[in-house]
Structure 1
Amino acid sequence: MRKTDLALTLLAAAGLSLAACSDRNSPEGQASATADAAAAVSETLPQALDNAAGLQTVAEALKETGIEGVFQEKGSYTLIAPEDDAFAKLGDPGKQLTEADDHAALAALLKDHMLTGYMTPQDISAAIKSSKDGKVLISTLGGGTLTFTQAGGIVNVSAEDGTQASFDGDPVTGGSSIAIPVTGVLKKL
């Protein structure tokens, strides 16, 4: 699927999901939407991840590498965020990666989990469903490509090296960005 087609599909899916929020036209819905928007803008994604259960490792990694600064700028990003258990499953290589004094490898790993633009799990699912081959390829900030598929209502993601993970739990939003928790780290160590 071409990137232009993906962008149009995601844009259409986002528009449909906004149109479905008809209760926001009521005074109560408008007040709630305004409060939600103010809360999301008041804290960055790394700050929101600090308060998210099971995502402390990725929150700390964003700080240690300095990548947290990217989320304070105007752009929006989607972070495919490995859960704490995913880092723990890596064993010693994972510990060495997160505890090293040189954070270059950790920064590279994080960039391989970052996508340009704000994409919800629903947006990605809609793009998969509308694709001809049942998959969507999206470039990462690290220069790689992640492939998204869906089986039994669960969105799965795989990296070019064959590592895989599944969406797991509610996304975390902060500022103009979003983090989607996943069950694995998308890089062989």
Structure 2
Amino acid sequence: MRNALLAAPLPVALALALTLSAALGLAACSGKQSPAAETASETPAAAVTPASATLPEVLDDADGMQTMAEALKTTGIEGVFNDKGSYTLLAPEDDAFDALGDKGKALIEANDHAALAALVRNHMLTGYMTPEDIAAAIAASKTGKVTMPTLGGGTVTFSKTGEAITVTADDGSQATIEDSPVAGGSSIAIPVSGVLRKI
């Protein structure tokens, strides 16, 4: 399962993530914020304290993140977070999965986990990025948007309206960044208000 996760999309993801990192000085795989991100972030809420536990373990104890935590276990993707690589997980809150109704319930409870694994991969980005890093990248962009590849082979585009950061998937589904991120190991999860894939 882990080999399938890190198959074809990873080289593309690495290339584009490193391009963004070079432009903004993001230390994506080190877990350190760039000077640009630190400048954009002047409030205590910007600080993210990594935990000694892995990200899936942290999510398991996080309020409103139980569905995503369970999806990581069910699909076997949680094992990826035991490696040295860094990832950013755009983690739909439990309410986002509940809003999918019967289709979402069928996806979570299906015996074949391929569709669920694909959905999870489309919420994963290569590198460690905080919302402040993303905001700094948007501010530095000439278009006011930043597009990044997911490990599922798709893309997500970040933009800002006022202080709110919106995430748009390549199929048109949208979500906003909600609440504070949580970190575990060398990875980070950013809560989002919706599932970034039409079911």
Counterpart in 2 of 1:165? 175
Percent identity for Structure 1 against Structure 2: 62
Residue identity matched to 2:60: D
Counterpart in 2 of 1:15? 34
The 1:12–1:143 alpha-carbon spacing in structure 2 relative to 1, beyond 3 Å, is: closer
Across the two proteins, how many residue pairs are aligned to each other? Answer: 172
Counterpart in 2 of 1:140? 150
Deviation at 1:5, TM superposition (A): 4.6
Question: Which of residues 20, 24, 29 is equivalent to 1:6?
Answer: 20
Counterpart in 2 of 1:76? 86
Does structure 1 conserve the Cα–Cα contact (< 8 Å) formed by 2:85 and 2:186? yes
- In the TM superposition, what whole-angstrom CA distance separates every residue of 1:88-143 from its partner, at most 9, and x where no partner exists? 00000000000111110000000000000000000001000100000000000000
Residue identity matched to 2:141: S
Q: What secondary structure is seen at the aligned counterpart in 2 of 1:115?
A: strand
Q: Map 1:7-156; keep pairs closer than 5 Å.
A: 7-12=21-26, 14-16=33-35, 17=37, 40=51, 42-156=52-166
Stretches of structure 2 lacking an aligned partner (at least 5 in a row): 1-14, 28-32, 42-46
The 1:18–1:134 alpha-carbon spacing in structure 2 relative to 1, beyond 3 Å, is: closer
Rounded to whole Å, the distance in 2 between the matches of 1:19 and 1:98 is: 40
Higher helix share: 1
Stretches of structure 1 lacking an aligned partner (at least 5 in a row): 22-32
Compute the RMSD of aligned alpha carbons.
2.1
- In the TM superposition, what whole-angstrom CA distance separates every residue of 1:126-173 from its partner, at most 9, and x where no partner exists? 000100000000000000010000111111000011000000001010
Residue identity matched to 2:144: G
Does structure 2 conserve the Cα–Cα contact (< 8 Å) formed by 1:10 and 1:127? yes
Rounded to whole Å, the distance in 2 between the matches of 1:147 and 1:55 is: 23
Does structure 1 conserve the Cα–Cα contact (< 8 Å) formed by 2:90 and 2:192? yes
- In the TM superposition, what whole-angstrom CA distance separates every residue of 1:59-96 from its partner, at most 9, and x where no partner exists? 00000000000000010000000000000000000000
Does structure 1 conserve the Cα–Cα contact (< 8 Å) formed by 2:20 and 2:26? no
Q: What secondary structure is seen at the aligned counterpart in 2 of 1:95?
A: helix
The 1:146–1:107 alpha-carbon spacing in structure 2 relative to 1, beyond 3 Å, is: same
Task: Answer yes or no: is 1:183 the counterpart of 2:199.
Answer: no
Q: Which has the larger radius of gyration?
A: 1
Does structure 2 conserve the Cα–Cα contact (< 8 Å) formed by 1:138 and 1:147? yes
Give the TM-score normalised by structure 1: 0.85
Rounded to whole Å, the distance in 1 between the matches of 2:90 and 2:106 is: 21
Rounded to whole Å, the distance in 2 between the matches of 1:186 and 1:172 is: 19
Rounded to whole Å, the distance in 1 between the matches of 2:90 and 2:20 is: 17
Rounded to whole Å, the distance in 2 between the matches of 1:159 and 1:18 is: 27
